[in-house]
Amino acid sequence: MEDFSRLRIGQGMDVHAFAEGRRLILGGVDVPHTKGLLGHSDADVLAHAISDALLGAVRGGDIGKLFPDTEPAYKDADSLKLLAEVAAYVRAQGYEILDVDSVIAAQAPKLSPYRDAMRENLARAMGLPVESVGVKATTTEHLGFEGREEGISATAVCLCARCC
């Protein structure tokens, strides 16, 4: 009989605004677009949402607690490296990462051509098989800040299990 009391869910979300002259990094993929996302780090909104989901599962706070945006070390940081640190932290707390799923809300650009590359990058960073990482994209039908192309949001959920 499964011991479901070992299971923990986590949820994360993040938002970054578009800005001229910035790269658009999503799930570690440099997506060609007319503008990118503003942030202290590389502003990888998807990697940040997944990081927060993982931290939520182990009640570890959020990425701002681990990687303060006032810290010069994180200026232009590669968020996949931060995600790898978060995954290591989760395991150090005695948890196994079982499954991760996510959604990017972006009116543009079209992201489906980059979905599998994102899944591979994220899976590698977390030390997971690619089958355990889901990435989806949706427009918001021109509604809200994503729909007005002012920014992009991402949400993520994960399932973790306490090892012992």
Ligand X SMILES: Nc1ccn([C@@H]2O[C@H](COP(=O)(O)O)[C@@H](O)[C@H]2O)c(=O)n1
Ligand Y SMILES: C[C@@]1(CO)OP(=O)(O)OP(=O)(O)OC[C@H]1O
Binding site for ligand Y (CB under 6 A): 14, 39-41, 43, 48, 63-64, 67, 69, 74, 77, 82
CA-nearest of 25, 83, 76, 26 to 52 is: 83
Partner whose footprint covers residue 137, from ligand Y, ligand X, none (CB < 5 to 8 Å by kind): ligand X
Roughly what angle, to the nearest 10 degrees, separates helices 79-92 and 45-57? 10
> Which two three-digit tokens encode residue 102?
């996510």
Is 150 annotated as ligand-binding?
A: no
Task: Give least dist CB 56 to ligand Y, A.
Answer: 14
The answer to whether 145 is annotated as binding is yes
Select the binding partner of residue 63 from ligand X, ligand Y, none (C-beta < 5 to 8 A, by kind). Answer: ligand Y
Positions that interact with ligand X (CB under 6 A): 106, 110-112, 137-139
State which residue, 87 or 111, has the beta carbon closest to ligand X. 111
* Torsion on CA atoms 60, 98, 42, 107, rounded to nearest 10: -110
Give the CA dihedral 30, 36, 42, 43, nearest 10 degrees: -120
- The nearer residue to ligand X, 111 or 157, going by C-beta atoms, is 111
The answer to the question of whether 127 is labelled as a binding residue is no
67 annotated as belonging to a binding site for a ligand: yes
* Closer residue to ligand Y (CB): 14 or 146: 14
CA atoms within 13 A on the CB side of 125: 26
